């Protein structure tokens, strides 16, 4: 096991509640077959109007080593005070979802953008309309699949039912130029405040959707497995921790790949956290429980997850460094699968007195790991070189003045397209209206990594 130090430059520490991560899996989807030249059909200009500075960022926000080139700044066409647009993001490479559960009096919305040449254009806004009450938190989580968009609405209440905030997932299919609602996923024995749809993960090759429900059984939590069956999705299983008890929030984070599902329970043991591994042969079976070797209460181990092949990344954004009882510096743990068992390979530790919330969000694709440093509102990138994960780049908007825009509260990478949520960014004069940044990947420039980004 290797332990390495992250050196960061930081000016301000954000408390844990300042920017809550949205744990989506945007990295497994195939791009919908949209005609980018088609009007959105709602009389709305396809140009999203983003890309400007608006006092929160420079339009030339390339990463420090030149691997990620700034593409656009996506904003809602109707930004309002504390919309928190960009709370959730997903991408298929040529299609982007940007969601917020706060807009429209907590009903929530999701905007769809498509790539047209070098531009990103607004295609469509979708709003869930099947709930008994409007405050359904539609857009809290998002994912893209095989010509499908999945939208979590964890405070959804079924029409005609007395159940409250059971939660649901809306499924939209790309038919012609737009996405059309195809299905509404609910659970027959759903409980009040189960919060189904708080997190989503999609496995494209298996047409499998995994849905987090951290509120089930008084926040013991659950994860539901849905598989495509004909023209829709049917529930295959419900996963719960074999040793779960109340208030552990199992299902707050999850990932899936091939025949594996991995679920985080960040509040287990008074916030120490745990991660559970499930494998499917004839049925889904819990095969391993992962605990941090240095776990402590309030670490929140399992708050964010990333999975690719035999690499599993787990964050503990509430982890404090030894001797520091105040700052939640945050640790990130990298595991390697060997003979079917996940073993700790490396620990990433921030080494700045004011860094804070390292590991707030994670993304992993083609061996490139992206980690949000919440305290400094930046994204660090690592690659494995000679058996050790090392820093290769950093992404941090060049602001005229330091602002609390929560840059990095949500991440998604697919096919060389990176989406970064900034849920607290100002937009068109509206405070904390929110935004999302789009970047495209370029091969390394070969330059040295700037000071302050080394591990």
Q: Token pair for residue 315?
A: 């964050």
Q: Token pair for residue 26?
A: 């945007």
The domain made up of 2-441 is a member of CATH 2.130.10.130: yes
Task: Supply the pLDDT for residue 268.
Answer: 98
CA distance 131 to 113: 25
Q: What is the pLDDT along the chain (455 residues), one digit of tens a residue?
A: 444 444 332 322 233 333 333 323 333 332 222 222 333 333 323 333 333 333 333 335 789 888 899 999 999 999 999 999 999 999 998 999 999 999 988 899 999 999 998 899 999 999 988 777 778 999 999 999 989 999 999 999 877 777 788 999 999 999 888 999 999 999 999 999 999 999 999 999 999 999 999 999 999 999 999 999 888 999 999 999 999 999 999 999 999 999 999 999 999 999 999 999 999 988 999 999 999 999 999 999 999 999 999 999 999 999 988 777 767 889 999 999 999 999 999 999 877 655 678 999 999 999 999 999 877 788 999 999 999 999 999 998 766 555 688 999 999 999 999 999 999 999 999 999 999 999 999 865 444 444 443 34
**CB contact set of 107 (below 8 Å; sequence gap of 6+):** 127, 128, 131, 134, 135, 136, 138
As a whole number of Å, the CA-based R_g of the chain is 20
Q: What are the backbone angles phi and psi of residue 35, rounded to the nearest 5°?
A: -80, 110
Task: Supply the pLDDT for residue 39.
Answer: 31
Length of the chain: 455
Q: Token pair for residue 443?
A: 């091969």
What distance separates the 2 farthest-apart alpha carbons in the chain?
61
CA distance 346 to 424: 32
């Amino acid at each position: 096991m290797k332990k390495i130090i992250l050196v960061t430059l930081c000016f301000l520490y954000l408390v844990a509640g300042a920017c809550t991560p949205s744990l989506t899996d945007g990295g497994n989807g195939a791009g919908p077959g949209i005609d980018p030249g088609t009007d959105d059909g709602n009389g709305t200009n396809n140009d999203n109007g983003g890309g400007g500075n608006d006092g929160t960022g420079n339009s030339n926000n390339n990463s420090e080593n030149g691997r990620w080139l700034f593409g656009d700044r996506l904003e809602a066409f109707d930004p309002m005070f504390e919309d928190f647009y960009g709370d959730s993001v997903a991408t298929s490479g040529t299609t982007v979802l940007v969601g917020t559960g706060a807009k429209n009096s907590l009903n929530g919305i999701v905007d769809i953008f498509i790539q047209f040449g070098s531009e990103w254009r607004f295609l469509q806004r979708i709003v869930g309309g099947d709930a008994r009450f409007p405050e359904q938190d539609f857009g809290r989580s998002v994912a893209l699949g095989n010509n499908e968009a999945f939208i979590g609405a964890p405070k959804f209440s079924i029409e005609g039912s007395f159940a409250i905030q059971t939660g649901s997932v809306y499924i939209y299919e790309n038919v012609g130029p737009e996405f059309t609602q195809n299905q509404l996923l609910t659970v027959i024995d759903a409980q009040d405040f189960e919060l189904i749809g708080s997190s989503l993960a999609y496995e494209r090759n298996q047409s499998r959707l995994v849905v987090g429900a951290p509120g089930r059984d008084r926040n013991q939590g659950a994860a539901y497995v849905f598989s495509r069956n004909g023209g829709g999705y049917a529930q295959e299983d419900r996963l719960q921790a074999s040793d779960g008890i109340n208030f552990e929030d199992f299902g707050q984070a999850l990932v899936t790949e091939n025949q594996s599902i991995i679920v985080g329970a960040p509040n287990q043991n008074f916030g120490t956290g745990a991660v559970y591994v499930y494998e499917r042969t004839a049925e889904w079976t819990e095969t391993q429980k992962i605990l941090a070797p240095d776990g402590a209460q309030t670490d929140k181990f399992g708050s964010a997850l990333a999975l690719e092949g035999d690499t599993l990344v787990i964050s503990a954004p509430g982890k404090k460094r030894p001797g520091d009882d105040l700052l939640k510096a945050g640790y990130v743990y990298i595991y390697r699968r060997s003979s079917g068992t996940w073993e700790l390979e490396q620990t990433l530790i921030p080494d700045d007195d004011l860094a804070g919330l390292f590991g707030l969000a994670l993304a992993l694709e083609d061996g490139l790991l992206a980690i949000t440093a919440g305290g400094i509102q930046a994204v660090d990138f690592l690659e494995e070189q000679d058996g050790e994960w090392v820093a290769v780049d950093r992404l941090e908007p060049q602001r005229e003045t330091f602002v609390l825009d929560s840059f990095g509260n949500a991440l998604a990478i697919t096919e060389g397209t990176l989406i970064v949520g900034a849920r607290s960014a100002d937009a068109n004069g509206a405070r904390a209206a929110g935004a999302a940044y789009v970047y495209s990947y370029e091969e390394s420039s070969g330059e040295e990594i700037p000071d302050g980004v080394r591990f």
